[in-house]
Amino acid sequence: MKLLRYGPVGSEKPGVLDEGGKIRDLSGVIADISGDVLSDKGLAQLSDLDLESLPVVEGEPRIGACVGNIGKIMCIGLNYSDHAAEAGQPVPKEPILFMKATSAVCGPNDDVEIPRNSRKTDWEVELAVVIGKRAKYVTEEEALDHVAGYCVANDVSEREFQSERGGGWTKGKSHDTFGPLGPWLVTRDEVPDPQALNLWLDVDNVRRQDGSTATMVFSVAEIISYLSQFMTLNVGDVISTGTPPGVGMGIKPNPVFLKPGQEMKLGVEGLGIQLQKTVQA
């Protein structure tokens, strides 16, 4: 299934994409794409629905983040060896963990703000994982059973705030609109191997990133297991799993960063496409 949320900011309704690409309204069945809906039982109940019997959503509504009521967003740094190289960093021996504020989350096609006083706002296409079952001290073999589904993420980052101002990465990752998610939450049964997905990103129609999750340093299963040794992953938590090479700071000899008035287009194989314009905050 491809689950989504549509409507104005703060008033999104749950929906599902049918085989013809039409949005079907789920608001008569569930309140949101969150909580118990993301459990195996909840997803099984949705999969049993006759989608043709659900109301069609007319027009082209705004698409919101594909999951609601996110508890926490965990992110993995330098999880592609060639991205670590372009960043001038060694390949990590253990996953590098940081958090992105949930207030950064926005829809996949919403405008992305360039923060005030920013000089180095950058792009990062990533595979994101949405947790569907509480995970604590899980093994790698068990890990993927705790996934509700997968989606596209753009881990927008202000590099100066992140790396040149001290005090950790979070403030360079958490400006409003720095966390576009979606367009869809694709349930795990439709993603048999999360380590075999192509992902890409264009800026103003120039291909900047073109990679594959096959080259991750730490796999999705390894990441979930690792995180669960240090914290409980709850239903609806999101994990952003790292970005392939091609980010702005890695362009040699002169790094390239985002300015207001630009366009980012990005996607992950089978998970949909995002399209954002940059605006001044």
Q: Report pLDDT digits (tens) over 63-74.
A: 999 999 999 999
Closest to 151 (Cα-Cα) out of 65, 225, 232: 65
Q: In this structure, are residues 169 and 162 in contact, taking their beta carbons and an 8 Å threshold?
A: yes
- Quote the CATH superfamily of domain 73-280: Fumarylacetoacetase-like, C-terminal domain (3.90.850.10)
Considering the chain, what percentage of its residues have pLDDT values greater than 70?
Answer: 100
**Whether the predicted pLDDT of 234 surpasses 90:** yes
Q: Are 157 and 82 in contact (CB under 8 A)?
A: no
Name the pTM for this structure.
0.96
Half-sphere exposure at residue 191, Cβ-oriented, CA atoms within 13 angstroms: 31
Domain spans, the chain: 2-53, 73-280
Within 10 Å of residue 251's Cβ, how many Cβ atoms?
14
**Residue 151 three-state SS:** strand
The per-residue pLDDT for range 21-69, each reduced to its tens digit, is 999 999 999 999 999 999 999 999 999 999 999 999 999 999 999 999 9
The identity of residue 195, as a single letter, is Q
The closest alpha carbon to 127, from 264, 223, 262, belongs to: 223
**Arithmetic mean of pLDDT over the chain:** 96
Of 112, 150, 66, 122, the residue nearest 250 (C-alpha): 122
Give CA angle at 130 (127, 134), nearest 5°: 140
- Among residues 33, 30, 89, 48, the alpha carbon closest in space to that of 236 is found at 33
Answer yes or no: are the C-beta atoms of 210 and 118 closer than 8 Å. no
